[in-house]
Amino acid sequence: MLHGLSRACEKTGIPPERLETMVEELELSLQQRSGREVCSSDIGELVLDKLKSLSEVAYIRFASVYRQFSGVSDFVATLEGINATKAELTAAI
């Protein structure tokens, strides 16, 4: 998990210590779940949730690999989703 996060966060200025802390938080969250097994898709979504608030660039990078983007339209759709979420948050304030 740390390797994937490190790759997604390259050249974003996010310190490695922050990524290590994030992995620890994710592992703790997964351990607290009631089921014994965790699907890889659940892990990927948890990582994306954390990255969304940390760095949009890292979020897009991770999402492009995790969700296997096949072209520009996948990037555009994801970026539009981020912008829509921002607009909703701004409107709620």
Q: Are 67 and 74 in contact (CB under 8 A)?
A: yes
Given this model, what pLDDT does residue 37 score? 84
Per-domain residue ranges for the chain? 2-92
19-56 pLDDT, tens per residue?
999 999 999 988 888 777 888 888 999 999 999 999 99
Closest C-alpha to 31, from 46, 20, 12? 46
- Assign 26 to helix, strand or coil: helix
Report the alpha-carbon distance of residue 29 to residue 8 in Å, rounded.
Answer: 21
Tell me which of 91 and 24 has the higher pLDDT. Answer: 24
In percent, the amount of the chain with pLDDT more than 70 equals 100
